Structure 1
């Protein structure tokens, strides 16, 4: 019986055990959820203690601070930190700020504060609201700064904020000393002073007094009776008390001694920011540095922008001169030009950072070099943006809007931010900012020129580039016009495969076709050709990710490509194989692309997915299947190596579609790259390729990239001709001509071939054409109708006509420096070369005759040797 009774128990126990084992994962998961819920409910996060920004204190006097290196003399007013800079060999004095601001009736008080400030900064908050502080209004006026002179340099440490001004009155003082000072005043004055102090006697505290707190704040009261300045005392009263104490001999040293008796912590809800500026005299250059590691601010109110020396060299209402800005090849804005109804000038250095998200684009501003300047009379300066230039935008405006001064400066975006779409839970925008700043320094170099001519300013910049990139910017050996020929290999087009729409390569120019076109051009006298082969691999013009290069079978075999390159080489033409190394288009796992692993990350840590924008609404086109990804910086470098290695193995040079033009940060969590770090990495890459013997071609040509390249195509010669600009000038081209070959846009597909030829003639550019073997009808129902004018047979004769004349008249100038340029009127210009060759260009619709009797036909150019 016992045995029979035990059996069912074992059976039940086994059944229960089996059930428990079967549901064990669910039970464990439920326990984890319960424990997690209890933890969340009861968890109280440790409050992060705010680290207070300690403001600086001015302890100097009104004696000017002077540094002199023999070539420059900087004299700083210690009460405002504004300064004058004397250029010794010319005697010209440049001011950090206008001298007669207080007399400017056109400026409001806040504008006067900005005009008197050597530095302006702004901070922002989560909602994106931006507040601007000036050093005059929020630092020097409050005495919260310090000046530290050094060997040929001055360091100014600013604190900016609504900090209570410090008055030289005892914050805490013993009864004995208080009575001593009061005894020196008359009774009425003593009574006035005494009523603003509270007396504390440890033996006679009231019920409201917290003894422990008082002893912590004022330890001396344990042994002595003390007086403490009442916290609500107004500033005008403090000023009066300061005068009373000063009259009886109370000194700053007495104040510091009494201040040590006060251990209470003064708190303020107003944000305070610490920014340091270092002014260095280096030969004839003034170098201004702002170390990012020395910036101090509360993370809830990050510093958003910094503008050093916003009004350096500003021209007044009666001054004659101009400002130079880097629009296209360059442009000038005359002082007081009267265009007060026009928008101010603004451009982003190196264009938009593609790793900063945006939901609309109206107009992309970009400068491919970071330089601006001011000319006044027979003197000028250029300001070259060095370290930190990728964070800068250059802005300029004329007198007559907010005040009476003409100015140009660089504004740096320090804490980049990204806007979140939280429309369902908030009425305002929400922004996230980068958490930490890189250990970098914003550096501006002011170089002074004993000439007011923009040509001499440009030559000065050219000398700077030649010194910085010594060995990479020697004069070229060209004896004829450099000609860039874009060969359009394959594009992608949607085709029906078994009733399914599939994107497939569409041949426009095979490798053999390209060889034939080069041979034909060579036979017709075209020399010094640089052939850019587009769409030669990995699917076509819109390449799939370049993990490896795979030729397109519709264009021919790899051998055919090699033969084309060899054939071109025999004709004296160089072939460059184009590659996309910064972005991933239409790529998936089968192509070696996994977006969660390979894409760069926005500040939000989301994948950097990019979109095209509508020309009508300016908004993102999110449903066109044309979205693409910005690649992680490390991967982009690997793809660049692949392109160069593949090109070299085929006997060709490498052409980068985006490297040297686009410059983007990468906020990936595992490895973050600042935009400055990416710039330095690109320089390192390009230099390494050039040193290894690779021939390189890039587009646009950012200033840091061109020294290492054989050819720059699609350089923005003219820029956007904003109404506020007065003249377009070839500033950048004067600096680099004869040292690097460059062209404008492809003449036959740019929209206005006549204008592009005239731009090229004025700016000393080579010629660029885009060709394909197929007719333009082949591009219908594709996204590549931009190639409407690329059919070789249709454009061959026109191209040869343009080239033959251009080369015959200008071919000899491409190994020379450009030494002069002048706009004779709004339509006619004259460019001069080292051998005396003069090129007159007339954009107008009527003939023009110069004072020397040179007749320049309408819409044409004339060369005089």
Structure 2
């Protein structure tokens, strides 16, 4: 009987343990299968049989699309302006006829290519090739006729597709035996010719004649050897490989062949160019890492008829940036940046330099007679924007997109002198086509404002963004800092406790204080509200911190402020967690790196730029990065406890994380879909912080838009591209003015005026000195009593100007560091960021000041 009872107890205990560890599991979301471009190889016609070099493929009221079948180059004629946009330059680069210019064959071939590929082999070595000499026009040799075309064309409704077979048809040195036995060689009829051409050495040990310059033979030598060995002696490549192996030379000929198709369609606004995912074929273990699509499309030459070309490249870096044509900065690094910032699942083990991210998938080029806005509509999470100026390798200023087909992670094996680095790659290609949509600009639209308007229209027409900005006065976003964890000591024994910077009653007092100063247009973002405070646990529930006043206190605050039309946005974070509820959850719900390890959102030690966990300094552990498959399930559980009408998504819509477990890879492309499905479901007012383009239509209010760009040396100026897109569509604010440590309050306030932003301040009731010796000392300027007067003065000034009675419709640089902005209400302001006064239309504008040219 005792044995039965004991067995029953053990079974119950095991059942409870199993229930604890494996029961009540979160359900993973399903991934969608993308609708990719239909592709069938049998529809294509070999270009060798085609010869029309100016075929009209498609036409509409505004544009004509032509294709040169002999090169696969296309051009678009803009009927409005007469401007012709070419996929490739068709005239010889002036550098080719100037002996003082160091142009290379590689640069010339790039100008003639439509694709540039970077690939990696099974050993991890990478190489970059273009498709000019490997598909569009093969150089002639003993096998291949000069100009051979290995591509084919398929005409479709409104455009065309080109299928490129990319391979090097040149004769490789491995076609020939490195060694030939002495007796065999001396018996050859062509011995003297072979000696003079290549076999200049004799290896006594092997008793064989040898090609000393084996791997560096010239093309002429290889062609002549091919005629002798293959046409006269009847050699085969297999025979050569076997002979080389017999003499200990085991390097084999690696035939690399890629196939991929691109599609070009004429639209009512311009063209769509795509890499067709289903067309891509690779060679064995050789994988394509990156493809640049039409790297010379729309490029601007440095001079036309000895006159320097005028214009600029528009970039979405931070708030926005421009690179002037021919700016002479060819000695600086060219611009190359991936969209949407870092993948949280693949954060580097050494902190990157401080910089702004790209949040909208648009760039552009403005030339004298026309411009374009390029919107990356598919494959944007894998896209890189590249830009460069004339003078580096050729005469062209250019901007283009390249796409990573896979994710990668660099790792180091071994240690000390025996350490070496390798790069890991995901096996499969991301499931998407790669599309860039070009809208051609003319007349008054041919500016960076026109580029912004193109993306603004895309948000409304394609992504369904509605106009929600109905405010007429300045809205002040007050970010309240709630609970935080702090290490305390009892009898010398350390322990963690939860402390408060701003209770709910204190938050109400701050708001009342602001109202007493006449500031009534407010909203509240409450950070550190629940589930551990500023360092949150997994948000699978909504447990409001008792130290702040608990659920009852928060309910009272929401009700009280709601009666004054003040919204309270409770901040939640679904993408990272300091800890899970159950031990084994970290293995179930944490994203994976490519190296098989769990993904962490590193807390970096700034002086060393290493994660704290890699230093000797005390700090809490890194946060777990949550697998995007579980966002929906976590939110569904959170929502059961969340009884409020406003929510602030601290990371969803603003950051991206994949997960790279070999058995279940989730690319960022799929993570966007998962985030979008979640945002569609939320039936509340949503506040987002500096959202990515796809998330903007779901925002009721946006905070933390950058007002500056990354100050790369090649960049010439910063512009409010992001704000020109959003102004008048949705209310937005700048980053918190009082948290900036590298710019003055006056500078940041001028940026608010220039960008049509609302104000944001991060506040706490208690003195932020309490955060000294905690992990939150970045909030060292939040004590609200220090900022009430500034908030009052700035709000009154913005309302007096009437900034928000209209929306931003134009922006232009007057002179260096002086800008003129125009609002739809008629308000026009000139702002001077110089350290000295300037004179504009007879009016002196002081340093860090502005002048109202025309009132609202």
The verdict on a shared fold, with TM-score over 0.5 as the criterion, is: yes
Conserved? CA contact 1:493–1:504, under 8 Å: yes
Conserved? CA contact 2:356–2:709, under 8 Å: no
**Corresponding residue to 2:479 among 483, 486, 497:** 486
Q: Which residue of 2 aligns with 1:129?
A: 125
* Matched position secondary structure for 2:300: coil
Q: Map of 1:183-222 to 2, 5 A cutoff?
A: none
CA deviations over 1:193-230 (Å, ceiling 9, x no partner): xxxxxxxxxxxxxxxxxxxxxxxxxxxxxxxxxxxxxx
Q: Does structure 1 residue 408 correspond to structure 2 residue 399?
A: yes
**Corresponding residue to 2:609 among 614, 618, 630:** 618
Q: Which residue of 1 aligns with 2:463?
A: 469
Q: Map of 1:169-188 to 2, 5 A cutoff?
A: none
**Corresponding residue to 1:842 among 832, 835, 838:** 832
CA distance in 1, matches of 2:442, 2:536: 50
CA distance in 1, matches of 2:779, 2:757: 22
**Corresponding residue to 1:300 among 285, 309, 312:** 285
Q: Does structure 1 residue 510 correspond to structure 2 residue 503?
A: yes
Conserved? CA contact 1:718–1:728, under 8 Å: yes
Measured after TM superposition, the shift of residue 687 of structure 1 is 2.3
**Corresponding residue to 1:456 among 450, 458, 461:** 450
Q: Which residue of 1 aligns with 2:151?
A: 145
Q: Which residue of 2 aligns with 1:635?
A: 630
Measured after TM superposition, the shift of residue 128 of structure 1 is 3.9
CA deviations over 1:18-62 (Å, ceiling 9, x no partner): xxxxxxxxxxxxxxxxxxxxxxxxxxxxxxxxxxx9999643233
Conserved? CA contact 1:490–1:509, under 8 Å: yes
Conserved? CA contact 1:776–1:790, under 8 Å: yes
**Corresponding residue to 1:154 among 151, 160, 174:** 160
CA distance in 2, matches of 1:525, 1:833: 25
Q: Could you list the runs of 5+ residues in structure 1 that have no partner in the other structure?
A: 1-52, 166-231, 241-263
Measured after TM superposition, the shift of residue 234 of structure 1 is 6.5
Q: Does structure 1 residue 321 correspond to structure 2 residue 323?
A: no
Conserved? CA contact 1:387–1:676, under 8 Å: no
Distance of aligned partners of 1:646 and 1:857 in 2 relative to their CA distance in 1, 3 Å threshold: farther
Q: Which residue of 1 aligns with 2:577?
A: 584
Distance of aligned partners of 1:469 and 1:138 in 2 relative to their CA distance in 1, 3 Å threshold: same
What's the TM-score once normalised by structure 1's chain length?
0.79
Measured after TM superposition, the shift of residue 599 of structure 1 is 0.2
Q: Does structure 1 residue 792 correspond to structure 2 residue 787?
A: no
**Equivalent residues, number:** 720
Measured after TM superposition, the shift of residue 660 of structure 1 is 1.2
CA distance in 2, matches of 1:811, 1:791: 28
CA distance in 1, matches of 2:747, 2:123: 46
Q: Does structure 1 residue 777 correspond to structure 2 residue 775?
A: no
CA distance in 2, matches of 1:844, 1:404: 33
Measured after TM superposition, the shift of residue 427 of structure 1 is 5.8
Distance of aligned partners of 1:438 and 1:457 in 2 relative to their CA distance in 1, 3 Å threshold: closer
Conserved? CA contact 2:570–2:648, under 8 Å: yes
Q: Does structure 1 residue 744 correspond to structure 2 residue 734?
A: yes
Conserved? CA contact 1:565–1:652, under 8 Å: no
**Corresponding residue to 1:289 among 274, 279, 285:** 274
**Corresponding residue to 1:760 among 752, 761, 765:** 752
Measured after TM superposition, the shift of residue 233 of structure 1 is 12
CA distance in 2, matches of 1:432, 1:288: 30
Conserved? CA contact 1:126–1:432, under 8 Å: no
**Corresponding residue to 1:443 among 425, 430, 435:** 435
CA deviations over 1:688-719 (Å, ceiling 9, x no partner): 22xx3x10011112111111111111111212
* Matched position secondary structure for 1:629: strand
Q: Could you list the runs of 5+ residues in structure 2 that have no partner in the other structure?
A: 1-40, 139-148, 172-219, 229-238, 242-251, 304-308
Distance of aligned partners of 1:588 and 1:639 in 2 relative to their CA distance in 1, 3 Å threshold: closer
Q: Which residue of 2 aligns with 1:227?
A: none
Distance of aligned partners of 1:644 and 1:767 in 2 relative to their CA distance in 1, 3 Å threshold: farther
Q: Does structure 1 residue 862 correspond to structure 2 residue 851?
A: yes
CA distance in 1, matches of 2:466, 2:816: 33
CA deviations over 1:473-530 (Å, ceiling 9, x no partner): 2252101112211000111111124643222211100011111211221232213312
Q: Which residue of 2 aligns with 1:66?
A: 56
* Matched position secondary structure for 1:399: coil
Distance of aligned partners of 1:66 and 1:636 in 2 relative to their CA distance in 1, 3 Å threshold: same
Conserved? CA contact 1:163–1:270, under 8 Å: no
Q: Does structure 1 residue 604 correspond to structure 2 residue 614?
A: no
Measured after TM superposition, the shift of residue 603 of structure 1 is 2.2
Q: Which residue of 2 aligns with 1:183?
A: none
Q: Does structure 1 residue 824 correspond to structure 2 residue 821?
A: no
What's the TM-score once normalised by structure 2's chain length?
0.79
Measured after TM superposition, the shift of residue 157 of structure 1 is 0.8
Q: Which residue of 2 aligns with 1:833?
A: 823
CA deviations over 1:332-366 (Å, ceiling 9, x no partner): 11110112222212222100112235222332552
CA distance in 2, matches of 1:530, 1:792: 15
Decide which structure has greater strand share. 2
Q: Which has the greater radius of gyration? A: 1
CA deviations over 1:724-761 (Å, ceiling 9, x no partner): 22221112211210111111111112123222111111
CA deviations over 1:394-428 (Å, ceiling 9, x no partner): 12111111111111111211121223332269764
Conserved? CA contact 1:683–1:704, under 8 Å: yes
CA distance in 1, matches of 2:126, 2:641: 49
CA distance in 2, matches of 1:576, 1:127: 51
Q: Does structure 1 residue 275 correspond to structure 2 residue 260?
A: yes
CA distance in 1, matches of 2:572, 2:137: 56
* Matched position secondary structure for 1:59: helix
